[in-house]
Structure 1
Amino acid sequence: MAKKSSNDSSDGASAYRASSSVDELLLAALERDDNSFQTGRYLVTFKEGAGDEGRQSLGTQGMRVADARDFDDQAAILENIGDADAVVFPEIGVALLGGNAAQERNMNTFAEIATDSPFESIDPEYFVFAENTYSGLLQDSLTQTVPATSAEFLRGFLQATETIAREMQTNGHSQLEIEEEVQVLGATWGLIACKVPPSLRSGTGIKVAVLDTGMDLLHPDFAGRPIVSATFVGQPVQDLHSHGTHCIGTACGPKAPAGSIPRYGIGYRSSIFAGKVLSNTGNSVGGSVLAGMNWAIANRCPVISMSLGGQGGVQPSYTAAGQAALNNGCLIIAAAGNSASSTGYPANSPTIMSVASLDENLSPSSFSNFGKIEIAAPGRNIYSSVPRPTRYGVKNGTSMATPHVAGCAALWAETSPNLRGLQLWRRLQATARRLPFSAARVGAGLVQAP
């Protein structure tokens, strides 16, 4: 692995290093004011099966190359790759390039790629957000009399994250969750709609990776559960946001929480893999998300849940990661997005299962994205775990629908070792409850437990 650089300057050149932090990249994007959500770095997608050749090609061009295999369990933290110009994610066949190192070698979106090159494409890296955080800020921008540029959006995002940070310092926890009175009926409406309570399956033996803002590792509802955790954003896995803990609660929470708390979790005996790919303020970059996807696939997690993304076109790196997952018996399930527009990335990749949100009357949620949709699940007024001391809260979004599908996927995966990858994808769709709406809104319909 490349050595730690002694040059810790914050000048323009250093802002686009492969090891730059998310905050450095956000600030640099604001200074550029170029009306894009690009970070200034690049992602190289290798041709399928050409990963080793691609890594060698980067080296022959004079790049210092780090490899996720340099880290335990391939849990690569970008901030820890030192002075490397690039880092390779071997499971998915993608490399992240520092912006200046790439530009010096004319490796950018304008570069012509030779037919015999191991590279499939070179694309900009984009910022990524927790779906709820992104949609909330987007709606704020839409209320302005003048359409907001992406730079104004990012500036608003930084202001929002500063406010959240101050709240966490003052109160000791995030206040993002909606605190509401929930009528206890034995199980949440989402689990009931998905036919979870009568299912005889528990997710036993199935690894479920949730790539999000981390997890409250000491939440009492998960005491004694097998949890493997890793961070990809230079912060401890402990969730100070709440989004990740909420998603993990739905996908993997307990069958019988203490006291009068309703059942809110599906795969209550599954093995939890908590990957922190979003910071405590809900933001990240494509490289960190891809590092988490690479880790989950390296650990052969049959179910990988991602309630994150952004609005934009299909990105080759995510498509390659989705295909690598399917090839290795894993299924990536991602939130379609909450912008009431076309499905965002990474869910719009053809190799990733996209999830839409349903309201309690089983109609599409007004905020739910549409177009490339594979399946739908409850996403309105979803009760689940959040970090202590609040412990429980209600959230809305395709972010909440996605772990319903992930949890049901774990139950189906338990029924047969043959239900992996594409076979699991097909089973989820084949058994979904049909709904009287177009496939562009709900896909195959409402996900159902076995």
Structure 2
Amino acid sequence: MSRARRGLTIGVATLTLGVIASTLTSANAAKEPTSTPVPISTPEGQVSSYVVNAKKPTAKGTADARAVVKRAGGTVVQQWPQIGVIVVHSTHADFRSDVYRLGRKTVASVGATRTVAVSERTDAPTARRKAQGVVKEEFANTAEEFVQPDPREGEQWDMAHIKADHAHEKTDGSRKVLVGVLDSGIDPDHPDLAANIDVKRSVNCTDAGTVDRSPTGWFPTTSDHGTHVAGTIGADRNGIGITGVAPNVRMASVKVVNDDGFIYPEYAICGFMWAGLHGMDVTNNSYYIDPFEYWCGDQPDQAAAMEAVRRAVSWSTKKGTFHVAAAGNSGTDLSNNTTNDTSPNDSTPIERTINSGCKDIPTELDGVATVSSYARIGTSNETQLSYFSNRGLNVIDVAAPGSAILSTIVAGNGYGLKSGTSMASPHVAGVAALMKSEHPGWGPAKLLAQLKAQADDRPCAAQQPIGPGGAPCTGTARNNSYAGEGMVDALDAVK
């Protein structure tokens, strides 16, 4: 999971707005302390980025909100009429208050998406160039009765642990299944990945949240994180290097991480909407959305941005896309989280009080599979919760290997070890892709239910306390704070 931090500073915040009620705030929020306010300064003349949520998530509702945006001095950068969300830039200091004043009947909420000025190019042409490249033709299942291993497959303890090697005796996945890798880009010429990249459905979302179809826009630039994630999901079975969980499915590179390592809300919204619009079956999301590790429903800007992301996730889920996300690397109990000192990470972090209405997004949004990370114990096939992994009773859905994972990297088109819940999540995305290959009629809700039902139990009694202060595992053998409903099982997914 990406945790970008930058030492930029901003001036004294000038915005004062009343608290906006959020649908994501828990029913018990009134009994909890208010989260610490983080007012965001938008001085006159600075290009600032916002999301505006229409009251009616329709084309007409979006058009009405767009008219308000223009009257308030904003420039529409990207609009998503399917969900009533508009990405806006403005140099007007009072843009938010003017939108509320002018849009009482048409605007539900408006919020700044970052605590610093917009830095990326904002003059992108309206007519995008069509991405070049040829999508591989659909082939029948390539798995043979006796699977021939790739050269470094023996080093992939993680694949054996989730029984992916046995699952491959039945299937390597279907070419009809498409997995969106929402990340920092995928190395386009890595020999273990190139054949499985769907170029036509790859996109760059980091140009202010717009849809950039340029031929190289989705390539990795400053990070190989997405390349490593992609290898775990779908490294090709080709006699080279390693093998992914689902080595015959297609993958689309959906770039949502900018060159400074940030994933702002407008980038993620673009990624989720692109996935839903282009028929992606599964997405992997190994990040939290910046600049807040936890977005609080009782804070105006944070509530508006969280609602915009929620709408994008919900809409794409209804379109048939199943979303998988990393639980996070803070060693935190997400079910009982009261403080945070890492946000905002694009300027100066502060010590914050948070409450149950503060969410790590996208992983804590409804319908998203939340994945914790496990580490191998010595050289055995036994595992334990990774020391860095977030946890939480009734928050974690399933677990997967996430420590010392061998996968593809950009340097030298090679291979390297990485650790994090970022590395656990793609195992689950890969298993979901195998499951979708075998059961093409299953939608997101069915996939999530079956992933949990088929997971191998990790009872608390067999696990040592992990995390700050040795926080113990809580819950039952079938559902607990460490592993959720258990270790994901690739073999059961294809039975």
Give the TM-score normalised by structure 2. Answer: 0.63
Aligned runs of 1:181-220 on 2, under 5 Å? 184=152, 186=154, 188-199=156-167, 200-204=170-174, 205-220=176-191
Q: Give me the whole-angstrom Cα distance separating, in 1, the residues matched to 2:80 and 2:236.
A: 33
Per the alignment, do residues 43 and 202 of structure 1 end up closer, same or farther by CA in structure 2, a change over 3 Å counting?
same
Indicate the structure (1 or 2) with the bigger Cα radius of gyration: 2
Distance 2:90 2:367 in 1: 27
Q: What is the match of residue 63 of structure 2?
A: 56
One-letter amino acid of the structure 1 residue matched with residue 424 of structure 2? A
| Separation in structure 2 between the aligned mates of residue 325 and residue 404 of structure 1, nearest angstrom | 21
SS at match of 2:154: coil
Contact 2:66–2:76 under 8 Å retained in 1: no
Structure 2 Cα separation of the partners of residues 58 and 86 of structure 1: 14
Q: Could you tell me whether the CA contact under 8 Å between 1:93 and 1:321 is conserved in 2?
A: no
Q: Does 1:238 align with 2:245?
A: no
Query: Which residue in the other structure is 1:41 paired with?
Result: 49
**1:293 aligned residue (233, 247, 272):** 272
Task: Provide the residue aligned with 1:349 in structure 2.
Answer: 365
Change in 2 beyond 3 A, CA 1:426/1:304: same
Q: Unaligned regions of 5+ residues in structure 1, if any?
A: 1-22, 66-82, 128-150, 155-182
How far 1:209 sits from its partner (Å)? 0.1
More helix by share: 1
Is 1:122 the counterpart of 2:90? The answer is no
RMSD of aligned alpha carbons: 3.2
Please point out which of 82, 94, 113 is paired with 1:103: 94
Change in 2 beyond 3 A, CA 1:398/1:126 = farther
> Secondary structure of 1:413's match?
helix
- After superposition, the C-alpha distances for 1:283-312 in whole angstroms (9 at most, x for unaligned) are 231111211111111112010111111511
Match of 2:131 in 1: none
What TM-score do you get using the length of structure 1 for normalisation? 0.69
Provide Cα deviations, 1:112-154, integer angstroms capped at 9, x if missing partner. 985xx45444344248xxxxxxxxxxxxxxxxxxxxxxx9xx9
Looking at structure 2, the residues matched to 281 and 62 of structure 1 have their Cα atoms a distance apart, in angstroms, of 29
Structure 1 residue 103: Cα displacement: 3.3
CA distance in 2, matches of 1:285, 1:325: 18
> For residue 390 of structure 2, what is the aligned residue in structure 1?
369
Aligned position for 1:249: 231
Taking the aligned partners of 1:389 and 1:418, their CA distance within structure 2 comes to: 40
User: 1:107: how far off?
Assistant: 5.6
Change (3 A) 1:325 1:391: same
Give yes or no for contact 2:372–2:424 (8 Å, CA) kept in 1. Answer: yes
State the one-letter code of the partner of 1:380.
S
- Listed one character per residue, the Cα deviations across residues 142-192 of structure 1 (whole Å, up to 9, x for unaligned) are xxxxxxxxx9xx9xxxxxxxxxxxxxxxxxxxxxxxxxxxx9563611111
Offset of residue 232 of structure 1: 1.5
Kindly indicate whether the alpha-carbon contact (under 8 Å) linking 1:42 and 1:102 is maintained by their aligned counterparts in 2. no
1:93/1:426 CA distance change after superposition, 3 Å: farther
Tell me if structure 2 keeps the 8 A contact 1:358–1:380: yes
Is contact 2:57–2:81 with CA below 8 Å preserved after alignment? Answer: no
- Deviation of 1:42 after TM superposition, in Å, equals 2.6
Residues 402-440 of structure 1 deviation map (CA, whole Å, 9 limit, x = unaligned): 110100000001111221211111111111111113433
Aligned residues: 348
Could you report, residue by residue, the CA deviation over 1:368-417 in whole angstroms, capped at 9, with x for unpaired residues?
Answer: 11222111111100000001315110000010011101000000011112
Q: Equivalent residue for 1:430?
A: 453
Pair 1:277 & 2:256 matched: yes
Helix, strand or coil for the counterpart of 1:377?
Answer: strand
Looking at structure 1, the residues matched to 320 and 93 of structure 2 have their Cα atoms a distance apart, in angstroms, of 33
1:387 to 386, 406, 410: 410
**Structure-2 change in CA distance of 1:201 and 1:32 (3 Å):** farther
Shift of 1:195: 1.1
Alignment of 1:36-185 (within 5 A): 40-46=48-54, 50-61=57-68, 63=70, 84-100=75-91, 103-104=94-95, 106=97, 117=105, 119-126=107-114, 184=152
Paired residue type of 1:307: S
The alpha-carbon deviation at position 325 of structure 1 amounts to: 2.2
Matched, 1:317 2:317: no
Q: Give a deviation string over 1:173-218, Cα, whole Å, max 9, x none.
A: xxxxxxxxxx956361111111111112222110100010001101
Shift of 1:330: 0.8
Match of 2:303 in 1: none
Distance 2:457 2:284 in 1: 23
Q: Which runs of 5+ in 2 are unaligned?
A: 14-36, 42-47, 118-150, 208-215, 297-305, 335-359, 377-381, 461-473, 475-479
Which residue type is aligned with residue 330 of structure 2? Answer: S
1:187/1:87 CA distance change after superposition, 3 Å? same
Change (3 A) 1:216 1:207: same
**SS of equivalent residue, structure 2 residue 10:** helix
Distance 2:69 2:361 in 1: 32
Assess if the C-alpha contact under 8 Å between 1:325 and 1:421 holds in 2. Answer: no
Contact residue 356 and residue 398 of structure 1 kept, 8 A: yes
- 2:463 is matched with none
Contact kept, 8 Å, 1:267 with 1:410, in 2: the verdict is yes
- Which stretch shifts more, 303-312 or 35-44? 35-44
Question: Identity over the aligned pairs, expressed in percent?
Answer: 26
* 1:64–1:411 CA distance, 2 compared to 1 (3 A): farther
* Distance change in 2, residues 1:30/1:189 (3 Å): same
2:78 is paired with a residue whose SS is strand
Residues in 2 aligned to 1:90 and 1:407: alpha-carbon distance in whole angstroms: 31
- Per mean C-alpha deviation after superposition, the further-off stretch among 96-105 and 31-40 is 31-40
* CA shift for structure 1 position 446: 1.0
Q: Is the 8 A contact 1:96 1:287 kept in 2?
A: yes
Is the partner of 2:172 in helix, strand or coil?
coil
Partner AA of 2:218 in structure 1 = V
